[in-house]
Amino acid sequence: MMKTFAELNFPGRLIAVEGLDGSGKSTQIYLLKRWLEAEGIKVYFSEWNSSELVKSATSKGKKRELLTPTTFSLNHATDFADRYERHLLPLLRAGYVVLCDRYIFTAFARDVTRGCPPDWVRGIYNFAALPDIVFFFKADLEVSLNRILEGRPKLKFFEAGMDLRLSADPYESFRIFQGRILEQYLAMAGEFKFMVMDANQHVEKQQALVRKIVGERINLARFRRRRPLPLPPPLPPDSKAKETEEDLAA
């Protein structure tokens, strides 16, 4: 049976956010990070598909549309394993609150939706412990789609599930693909004790609830820095003079 980092007696705690593309989860974990930093908490942030070892290969594979469901899954598993061993575990051992924008549940949902066997997908992540809190931001498909399109003109190929040939229309493909991913997440919610959040609500209301839950579930006082973060070094006199001149010129 999988255990959380608290159950494994790690000094640190790990909080993960999950949700469909466009659910607003990245905004929520960013706001949580800023709040914890302002409270003087030792915080480390990691996001999905960000390993320097792997992400360039994944990016090239996506651009050339070369990734099969299996290679997609293995690339992301390699990325996660690299970050888990080199970043997440050391910081958890050092007593940090680690924030993850997506965790193994993203693979469980996406890879299975793409046709990978569920037992196989879970098997390649069996080295990972469970987060101490998982927030799942549940948004309506239309809300997610509109949020994505507010920031850019069109959907990305894999984001819309176009590799699965669900529909020639990327928007319809998105609805089908993300709808199936949502079904996978909802099936996992009880198993992994997700904190299901109404991601259709205003950002501020969601964030207030996130902070309340984190404060209730984690004794944040244990993770405060003994000393505040150091201020940046002062600029040399010449730089200050130049900065003043530039300000006046502006």
**pLDDT confidence of residue 216:** 97
- pLDDT, tens digit (0-9, with 9 covering 90-100), for 2-19: 899 999 999 999 999 999
- 3-class SS letters over 208-240: HHHHHHHHHHCCHHHHECCCCCCCCCCCCHHHH
Whether residue 245 is predicted with pLDDT greater than 50 in this model: the reply is: no
Instruction: Report the alpha-carbon distance of residue 200 to residue 138 in Å, rounded.
Output: 8
Which tops the pLDDT comparison, 91 or 49? 91
9: alpha, beta or left? (left if phi > 0; alpha if psi -120 to 50): left
66-84 burial code (b ≥16 CB/10 A, e <16): ebebeebbbbbbbbbbbbb
**pLDDT confidence of residue 46:** 97
Which CATH class name applies to 13-249?
alpha beta
- pLDDT, tens digit (0-9, with 9 covering 90-100), for 220-242: 999 998 876 665 566 565 544 44
* Mean pLDDT, the chain, integer: 88
Which tops the pLDDT comparison, 64 or 6? 6
φ, ψ (nearest 5 deg) of residue 140: -65, 145
Q: Mean of the pLDDT values across residues 123-128?
A: 97
pTM of the model: 0.85
- Domain range summary for the chain, segments of one domain joined by +: 13-249
